[in-house]
Amino acid sequence: MLLTGAIIGSFYALMACGYTVIYGTVRLINFAHGDVYMLGAFIGAALLGLRLPAAQPITAVALSVSGTILAAGLIGYLIRWIFSRVKSRKTSFSPMIAGVGISLVIENGMLHAWGSNAIRFPAQLPDNFQKIVLTLGLSIALLIATELWVEKTKFGAAMRAVGIDHDAVRLMGISVERVIFIVFIAFSAIAGLTGYLAGSYYGSIQFLMGFMLGLKGFTAAVIGGIGNVRGALFGGWFLGLVEAFGGGYLGTQWTDVVVFSVLIFTLVLKPNGILGEAVVERM
């Protein structure tokens, strides 16, 4: 249960990082983020299914991973472009409603394109130990890289500054729109790669896989403290362990009840999230 919770928690943490950094930069909840995760899984499966001539298995996987990252990044760019056009209308709730609309368009589009049945993911690791080591290792590596990028680089400082005051940042010569577009591209690419890892780990994918995982990724971000990267990491792993142990002791049918009960309980005691105090107008 511990290893299962750690792997699930890593997926939640990666998604929570996307929610929290995007929110910390533009004060916007991107409700289409979970669907980028789902698209990453389907794009990876489609690229693996091409069966390029003379391509070795490792080469095919490397090409499909690269293609998934690029495609998911492009999707993130398009989503941000839509948000920027909607936000120009000066209506505060429009971007949030647009995110819900984008999510529904993606889900229903995939439903009609691929059907409602689960699809086998081509690149599966037959050995359970390999699944655990590779999936958990890659997820942790991504999380560490994300944490270092946001907290230790100049661009990370620019992201945090944009989240504080757009006008002041512009006066300092930083292109606010460029920073925001890069954030959407980077974290959409991470979401797409997370979908690829999840498809390989679980062995199957389907069009609604991004809905619940996206919701739980957002829940993890809220539990940890939305806008706080370390809070997102903590919230993701905490939620994964709660789900694994709750499902193990009470039955899998109770996992969602346990997870969202923890969310409610956390918000009652700590409305800003467990690590919410660390967020003072910054990520």
Q: pLDDT tens digits for 248-269?
A: 888 878 888 888 898 899 888 8
Measuring CA to CA, how many Å separate 19 from each of 51, 183, 249? 34, 11, 30
Domain boundaries along the sequence of the chain: 2-211
CA distance 205 to 113: 14
Give the tens place of pLDDT for each residue, 123-138: 666 666 667 777 788 8
Cα 161 → chain centroid:
22
Give the pLDDT band of residue 280 (cuts 50, 70, 90). very low
pTM, whole model, 2 decimals?
0.89
Instruction: Give per-residue burial for 227-261: e unless 16+ CB within 10 Å, then b.
Output: bbbbbbbbbbbbbbbbbbbbbeeeeeeebeebbee
- pLDDT reported for residue 184: 95
| Residue 156: pLDDT over 80 | yes
Cα 63 → chain centroid:
21
What tokens were used for 162?
A: 């944009």
Residue 2: how many other CB atoms lie within 10 Å: 10
| Residue 283: pLDDT over 50 | no
Percentage of the chain beyond pLDDT 90 is 34
CA dihedral 51, 56, 57, 63 (to 10 degrees): -70
SS (H, E, C) 75-117: HHHHHHHHHHHHHCCCCCCHHHHHHHHHHHHHHHHHHHHHCCC
Measuring CA to CA, how many Å separate 17 from each of 105, 150, 256? 24, 10, 21
The answer for residues whose C-beta is within 8 angstroms of residue 120's C-beta and 6 or more apart is 203, 204
Task: Sort residue 205 into left (φ over 0), alpha (ψ -120 to 50) or beta.
Answer: beta
- pLDDT reported for residue 32: 93
Which position has the higher pLDDT, 242 or 131? 242
